[in-house]
């Protein structure tokens, strides 16, 4: 299925119409950014972390996003329980292995989540994705030490082994399912100066996957929208602070003409 501006906008309209509940177990740094982006797009965000409410909260959700950015033992238990409940319910799960490769604790947690309850989507930067396969790969804190292209071969292996879509974000975003690769060339360098935008991308993947049942298409559409909104925001922004503000406004008002004008996808 080709990734077209018309189809992307139809998915956005479906999100706006249905307002799907996207349950996020995410980090303190990105929580507000992700919730606001989901609201601006038209989804209904929930940020819930207590293990005691995982079954009920997943029960009302249309998608689950697990982000390991600020780990604790209690949160990890909640992540496993939420992923288990999501599998029972049959809703898509997006895993963002933030900082995998920086510490063994993060890397091992991400790997255990994937092995225990394979997600529908794994989205991370090149170093994070590579560290899921090779423990020698190191991440510069939560920033990638490699280009997105460097991780494509490993993304293909992970996708095949875990039967999931793997998205490697970077200057070019790669959406991988088996041997199929979609390249998305949208985005702007100023986006790297705003904390949590990668986490926001994972949240948007959850919103798109909640209404578009083909996970590969959903992720490609979400990443294209993320990049297009970032480009448009950068044109209006004076710096990282105002980029955030304009990014939310553009998500809220994004139309098919904007997408048609800026979409840069290679399949």
pLDDT tens for residues 92-103?
999 999 999 999
Rg (C-alpha) for the chain, rounded Å, is 17
Q: What is the DSSP letter of 191?
A: G
Give per-residue pLDDT as tens, 126-157: 999 999 997 655 555 444 445 688 899 999 99
pTM comes to 0.95
User: Total structural domains in the chain?
Assistant: 1
Paired tokens of 24:
């996020």
Please state, in angstroms and rounded to a whole number, the distance separating the CA atoms of residues 40 and 15: 11
Among 114, 147, 146, 118, which Cα is nearest to 133's? 114
User: Whole domain around residue 72: which residue ranges?
Assistant: 5-266
The predicted pLDDT at position 134 comes to 78
pLDDT in tens, 17-75: 999 999 999 999 999 999 999 999 999 999 999 999 999 999 999 999 999 999 999 99
Q: What's 148's DSSP letter? A: G
Mean pLDDT of the chain: 95
Helices assigned H by DSSP within the chain: 5-18, 31-41, 54-59, 73-89, 104-116, 126-131, 152-162, 197-211, 215-236, 240-253, 256-262
Measured CA to CA, the distance from residue 219 to residue 209 in angstroms comes to 7
The pLDDT assigned to 138 comes to 54
Instruction: Give the Cβ contact number of residue 50 at 10 Å.
Output: 12
CATH (domain of 37): 3.40.1190.20
Q: Please state, as a whole number, how many other Cβ atoms lie within 10 Å of the Cβ of residue 172.
A: 18
Average confidence (pLDDT) over 110-116? 97
């Amino acid at each position: 299925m080709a990734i077209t501006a018309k189809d992307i906008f139809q998915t956005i309209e479906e999100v706006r119409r249905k307002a799907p509940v996207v349950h996020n177990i995410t980090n303190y740094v990105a929580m507000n950014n992700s919730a606001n982006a989901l609201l601006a797009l038209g989804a209904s965000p929930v940020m819930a972390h207590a293990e005691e409410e995982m079954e009920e909260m997943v029960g009302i959700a249309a998608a689950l996003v697990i982000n390991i950015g600020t780990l604790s033992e209690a949160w990890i238990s909640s992540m496993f329980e939420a992923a288990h409940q999501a599998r029972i319910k049959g809703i898509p799960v997006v895993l963002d292995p933030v900082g995998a490769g920086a510490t063994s604790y993060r890397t091992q947690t991400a790997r255990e989540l994937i092995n225990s309850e394979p997600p529908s989507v794994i989205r991370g930067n090149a170093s994070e994705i590579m560290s899921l396969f090779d423990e020698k790969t190191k991440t510069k804190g939560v920033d990638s030490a490699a280009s997105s292209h460097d991780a494509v071969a490993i993304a293909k292996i992970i996708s095949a082994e875990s039967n999931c879509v793997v998205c490697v974000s970077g200057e070019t975003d790669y959406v991988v399912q088996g041997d199929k690769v979609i390249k998305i060339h949208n985005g702007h360098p100023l986006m790297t100066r705003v904390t949590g935008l990668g986490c926001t991308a994972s949240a948007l993947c959850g919103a798109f996957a909640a209404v578009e049942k083909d996970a590969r298409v959903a992720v490609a559409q979400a990443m294209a929208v993320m990049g297009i909104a970032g480009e448009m925001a950068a044109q209006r922004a004076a710096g990282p602070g105002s980029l955030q503000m304009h990014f939310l406004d553009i998500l809220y008002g994004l139309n098919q003409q904007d997408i048609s004008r800026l979409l840069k996808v290679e399949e």
